[in-house]
Structures are given as C-alpha cells and as structure tokens.
Chain A
C-alpha cells in the first residue's frame, strides 16, 4: 500500500527565516509526486508536480525537489501569507489515478 509521511507536523518560522518541509513516500512505481497548499476551510491549491528523481521546480519563494524516497519543499525568506498547510501526495503508475496524501505540515510564519 502506498504511504506518505510528512514532517514536521507543524513548523513555526519568523518572517525571512528559510526552512524545508519533508515528504517521505513508499509507492510501487511512482507516476508523480504532487505538492498542494491548503488554507483553513478551503480546498487544496496545486503547487507542483515532480515526476522523476533529480527534478526541481520553483515558484516564487517555493522550490520542490525529488529523490527516489522523498521530496522537499524549500521555503526561502517566507512571508506571513505563506502560512498554510502544505500537503504532499503521490500517484502510482497503473490504471488508478487516485492521489495518496500525507497528513500535511502546518506552517506558520510570524511577522
């Protein structure tokens, strides 16, 4: 069974203090790894898709990287508006296109 573990569960940063979120996964045949951002009471908002080890993608202050066992979401000089829960999900190769999600990392950025 596919498994996704995110750490830490919660992270509190000062504005401008860079850090990384971790997503460890176990899946037999990775089709893609997805990062989403979720604000309280809202639907997950798509950030990135990574398909193969070594791949990196960037968007503003966020950079996602992928290895064969884990993915990192690096946040550079975060701002208070980056506060949210960040979700990682994997999609397995095959005919079922479901996403298996981790429980997320709650990021709080203080001004």
Chain B
C-alpha cells in the first residue's frame, strides 16, 4: 500500500458525460501528478500540482482539467467523454517539488460506452 488513495475504483459512463476522479496523496506529500494508462500508449503524464498550484502540463486534452485543494487532495475532471478516454487513470504523489520518488495510487478504471 503506497498510502495514495483514489476513488472511485471503477467508473462506467456514456459518451458526452462528465466525471470527476479523486486522489488523496500520502500524508505529508505536497505534489500530485496525474497519469493516464491505455493499452496502446502506456503511462502518459497529464498534469502536476504542487501545494495547490499547477506546475506542469503534459498532453492533457482541453476537455480535461484538474485542481488541488487546500487539504492537498486533487480532482481530475473529464468532460465531453469519448470512447477513447477509456483508460486507467493514476495519481501519484511526492514529498516536494523536485526529484523525489513518485508513489502511485491504485488507479481509477474508466469505461466510456
């Protein structure tokens, strides 16, 4: 158990809908990272937050957004969902804002029908 929690574990929804994925980092960690894992692309970086501020963006679609709250939990919002958004979504956390190891949560499996 990494100490990173994610909810829900599974999510099934329809095209065009909007969902919110939630992540709580390890106690004491200030950084949260979001990654998407699909069969063909592997693990892809989406976005990084540090202590409530956005620090870096990867190939995150404009339909996707995220935020980190004062209690340091983070939410990833996915809207206007398409079939291709079906994937595993992981968050990871690290202590600070540098090269520390990122510890991954158990993931949310999203299925868009």
Contact = CB atoms under 8 A, between A and B. Distances in A.
A108 B90 CA distance: 24
Contacts of B102: 34, 46, 99
Nearest to B102: A99
Interface of B is mostly: strand
Interface of B: 2, 4, 31, 33, 35, 42-45, 48, 55-56, 58, 88, 90, 94, 97-99, 101-107, 109
B90 A31 contact: no
B101 A46 contact: yes
A97 B107 contact: no
B104 A44 contact: yes
The range of chain A's interface size is: 20 to 34
Nearest to B90: A43
A97 B97 contact: yes
B31 A97 contact: yes
Contact of A43 (B55, B97, B104): B104
Contact of B43 (A44, A45, A49): A44
